[in-house]
Structure 1
């Protein structure tokens, strides 16, 4: 991370099906850290040097051949895949369901803070395959994905248990958590079983990976489920099954999430904003601080 630097690069040119976007804001995600450090170079190979950033919010500057959904001047948001280069003045995005028109009710920073977090949360909740009235434990609930997962789970009619720190209680309750578990002072699995006798129907773990998932899988009921974006074993003790996934962009989903946010039905939590000339510091702080929601870089 200490080797981060800024540089002047030529403006990209949109190819077929692409849009050139002049950035107004970008948001940071854990994948940025992973790509920068090469921590998952085998699964996510990236040639260095590269421009990080996958959350885009800006204005269409030019339209490539065959791109028909947007016009020059349209405000847009996008989840841009890995890597995409959103921490730059200009970026190319695809004219695809991964992009949406930014509602006028959302600021550029709010627009940037929506795509990755909300799309990933929705995709992972799909994997839990639980019905209204079920219970879910969200581990890592204060982060960029977790803050949306809590809200979407509550809107789906689930009883939501959420992990955080003692100071996060009001924040998580505001998002819709029915119970907040302070992971620094209680055994999360034991507390989940106390609050939901027999265990929760599903655990959505956004913080742990591999063998570390066993501790939170213990919060699920016998035959329950654990869902994670970080990967791990196929099953756990007591018949608890596992499902792993990440960001997906079904047709219309980002449009719907943006509309919900515009109507105030989905909160966009921004921990802090940094000007573009402090993007390096934003990335360094992102690795070091306890973040509630998202960190945005504004242009």
Structure 2
């Protein structure tokens, strides 16, 4: 497996498996079990996904040596301050059935970000987390966190797909020695991404699918990708992306597909922030 070296010296696989929108615990456990059988070693979950227990069960029954796995979870907004973050870290560890997490992220750039980050820094020093990072942070938010705390994030996990390429955001993070990790690399199939003729024409040259071309494109941009699927044949297809390489012309062609608009929601839209906080407050009641 191809890996990337993080700014704290740790290494992580560049291709992993995500479990966003797999709330059914039995289905999630089965999906992670099959992903591990295929060869994935990076598994990405979050408190907000409500499936950490299922991920933990799959890890336990896999029999894979813990040191060979890279497990990520994330802190939700409802716990984004110092005191609640400390408790949330322990809760995630308990649900996952692990002594430590390889990577733990602030899921959103809202709430008491600095206080929560201090809790992550302490947990890292205590050995509960090996690496710490963020998700959905814009460059100014990322820089503010860097300047206000002691430990720099190793990862910024952001929406990144052919329709939302985030060129400036990726360039900024990489310039700060912070890796970018792509969530929703396939944009959930929107705008017929799996049948797009431009991507398909590139794939024909290598006998690869649109999905495989997209993942290869991300890897060659130095981005970590965590595609999700509950179908083992698709997991295998997504994993089979290390035996070909896109040319410079291919990469330039992919760059022309950028719609520069989120396929989900704008994390800077005030109404989006209000909705996220409303759902978070409901969780606390």
User: Same-fold call, TM > 0.5?
Assistant: no
Higher strand share: 1
TM-score calculated relative to the size of structure 2: 0.29
Q: Which has the higher helix share?
A: 2
Higher gyration radius (CA): 1
